[in-house]
A and B are shown apart, each in its own frame.
Chain A
Amino acid sequence: MDSDINIDMSQFHEVFFEECAEGIEIMETGLLNLTDQSDSEVINTIFRAAHSIKGGGGTFGFAEVSDFTHGMETILDEMRNARLGVAPEVVQLLLTAVDCLREMVQCCKLGEPFNEEVISDLKSKMNECAQHAEQGAPKQDTVVSDSAAEDTSITTWHISFNPHENLFFTGNDPFRLIKELHTLGELNIDVNSERLPDFSEMDAQNCYLGWDMELRGNILEEQIDEVFAWVEGYCELEIRNAEDRRKEEYDRREQDRRADEPEARRRKGDKSVSLSQESTSIRVGIDKVDGLVNLVGELVITQSILSQVCIDLGLDQAERLSDSLAQLERNTRDLQEQTMSIRMLPVDFAFQRLPRIVHDLSRTLGKKIDLKFSGETTELDKTVLEKIGDPLMHLVRNAVDHGIEAPAQRIASGKSETGLINISAYHQGGNIIIEISDDGAGLNTEKILNKAIERGLVDSAEELTDAQVQNLIFSAGFSTAEQITDVSGRGVGMDVVKRNMTDLGGMVDVASRPGKGSKFTIRLPLTVAILEGQMVRVANQIFIIPLLSIIESIQISSEQINVVAGASELYHYRDEYISVVRMHELFDIQKQEDDEIRLLVVIDVGGRRLGLLVNDVVGQQQVVIKSLKKNFRDVPGVAGATVLGNGSVALIIDPQGIAQNYKSVEAS
């Protein structure tokens, strides 16, 4: 064969970066939970994550990442062997190293240079720390447990490693694994080339060799497991110690006796079950899932059109056809729900960074704070999930910085010196609600109002309710912090929170009581691919308004609309005047003379209310959002389009865009 088939390693990079991100999260979470009372499994978990990143870094050509993680791994190894205690300064060093590692992975991803100075500094600190442990320097917090003392006995491990043929395609090389086993102890190795085919028949990119090994030393089974962690699913692996071998005969007899019981294979110490059988999930590119979601969306639309055609032709009277269509509709909806669920992830993913933030900030500010979660398993769309990470971080930073008081102040107020931040998530209707509450000082409405007047955000003569004043914190450039700090006080955080939420079709609200604390409530749609919409008619056009932003629809007469300054139109809605947007004018639609406009759909756009004047409310429908930008171009005030049951296209209103558009019209 003359063809030169190159394996493009870059195709695996994205997977590596994803696995790094997961590993880094595991390390960070583990380190935050790590105390000298922690179970050894906590250290093992952190170690395994570091080890995987190190292995991947080496495999995929990111030697610096691999080298840096090796330093972390060394410290963790010393910790789990009880040669180094779990001291707060060591944990802090590892947390800092985790931050640095995250940056390094990001640099690899973007092809940017590393911050060599920081890396070098951390590496020397980690070296120093590890050397300190190796020298056996007496440390106050060094704990040598009984179990650790027991582990000093020499163990002989028998390892049978038979890679699957596709092992090389994963970027793994058995040489690296065996080299690593060499570092653990004395290794005797015997290659097995029985599977190696005749030269003329072999595929040069397949792996045919296997190895039987005997590893001797003070080695834990976990250490061997970790060496092979990177090839899990790509090999047959058997690890047995001498003790197991002595029991082998007995076990075999037992196994014969229970030949019909599959559990027999799962006895302790027997890892002969193929690792590949343990995999319960697959990693699929998001583009493939999006493609599937899109196709199912098309299917829903086609099914809807078919039902409509059936009604139009009067065929719905034919029972069998009607039943079949109903069945098709049920199946299509189920298929859509199942497909959408592929994109759903637990909200916990967005919560993972928060304990670290609270940990670091509370240290910096000298506060004591407990962070509690509930409903972490509540699921929402991946896209939404990715976009709420930063807003959540801002809210929690603010709760730590502005909400929770210093311990002395809390005690003086009759509270416990440790503050509490509670984050909960739950489903409500087609939405997810995330609440971030604290038992801190609450919002100072007087201070907020004064600042808002000073900044010209409100008029001093204006009378605002407490809730309205509290919502001013979401205004751009608003900050009551006395000085700008690294923690908060730049006045951009809450503005960003609000904008991100409205961009996702959601909203954020705040409720606060002085001295008792504050509660931020985020309401978001579960997905950005489908939408619960209200169909409205404007002349001969149908528009979809997101149901989430509608407060109510009211019947009005033209006399109830007041013209202000000869331009803007206002409607007296309950206790306030709201701007009226004539939809047919906004979208330049010819108004039918005999068609009286009589319905006002009141919508909420980030706390601001607007009335959309339409002809009629047609009905509610779950619609599949099609990007207008992708198929046409961005249109202000339009979030996308959808195909209705009758095959016509309806535009989906973007309340935020309309509000902004209307504001600019008002200004001009």
Chain B
Amino acid sequence: MVKEKQNNQPEKSPAKKSVKNAIKKSGKTSDQKKKALKKSGNKKTDASTGERKYVLDSVLVINNAQTIHGQLTALINAKQNIVIDASSVEMADTSILQLLLSFVKKIHTQNLKVRWENPSHELLSRAEMLDLKERLGLAGS
């Protein structure tokens, strides 16, 4: 799964907690809760760097592909430079690497940039094996 957060901000931000509390009080369904949490995450912007930071979870498999696609779509719509924190990736299957490739291409067509932050050895090795390292912009990592 992908978690989105601002630079130097803890994962469970007060903003998220307050949203959670609001949902709890309003008695919304779990789907509504998810949507509310995602929307609140997507709205965040790092004013200091102008970059949106993405944290990739450790296990990235096809089960999460649709969710990640939805979150990346929100990022594309934000039209900002992106920094992807891939330090904790322990496993990424082809479907997710393919999704990231399409995402990177899309960002580039918007004349924006994607920067990788501490990509894990596992991610680099998998991308290289599938000949995706350069295309993902991981070649210098």
- Mark A residues whose CB is within 8 Å of B: 1-7, 168, 173-175, 178-179, 182, 189-191, 193, 196-200, 202, 204-205, 207-209, 211
Contact = CB atoms under 8 A, between A and B. Distances in A.
B130 interface: yes
Q: Which of B38, B67, B102, B129 has the most CB of A within 10 A?
A: B102
A202 B62 CA distance: 14
B66 interface: yes
Contacts of B35: 2
**Residue with the highest number of chain B CB atoms closer than 10 Å, among A4, A5, A189, A190:** A4
Interface of B: 34-35, 38, 62-70, 72-73, 76, 93-95, 97-99, 101-103, 105-106, 126, 129-132, 135
11 contacts: A3-B66, A3-B70, A4-B66, A7-B62, A175-B94, A178-B130, A189-B131, A191-B130, A199-B73, A205-B65, A208-B98
Contacts of A204: 62, 65-66, 68-69, 95, 99
Contact of A199 (B34, B95, B106, B126): B106
A198 B98 CA distance: 12
Contacts of B65: 204-205
B93 to A, nearest CB: 5
Contacts of A208: 98
Contacts of A173: 93-95
Contacts of B126: 175
B120 to A, nearest CB: 15
A480 B87 CA distance: 72
Main secondary structure of the interface of B (DSSP, over half): helix
A189 B106 CA distance: 24
- Chain A interface, >50% SS class: loop
A278 to B, nearest CB: 24
A200 B102 CA distance: 9
A179 B106 CA distance: 28
B62 A196 contact: no
A3 B34 CA distance: 10
Contact of A175 (B38, B64, B101, B130): B130
A168 B130 contact: no
A437 B132 CA distance: 64
Given A193-B135, A197-B102, 17 more contacts: A2-B67, A3-B70, A5-B66, A6-B63, A7-B63, A168-B94, A168-B95, A173-B94, A175-B97, A191-B132, A193-B101, A196-B102, A198-B106, A202-B102, A204-B65, A207-B95, A209-B130
Given A7-B62, A197-B102, A209-B98, A189 B130 contact: yes
Contacts of A175: 93-94, 97, 126, 129-130
Contacts of A190: 131
B37 to A, nearest CB: 11
Nearest to B126: A175
Contacts, number: 88
The 5 closest A-B pairs by CB, nearest first: A204-B65, A199-B106, A191-B131, A204-B69, A1-B70
A133 B67 CA distance: 49
B114 to A, nearest CB: 12
A211 B103 contact: no
B49 to A, nearest CB: 23
A161 B99 CA distance: 19
Nearest to A2: B70
Contact of B72 (A6, A179, A199): A199
A378 to B, nearest CB: 44
Nearest to A190: B131
Contact of A178 (B63, B95, B129): B129
Contacts of B70: 1-3
A209 B76 contact: no
A207 B93 CA distance: 11
Contacts of B76: 199-200
A261 to B, nearest CB: 37
Most buried by B among A2, A3, A173, A179: A2
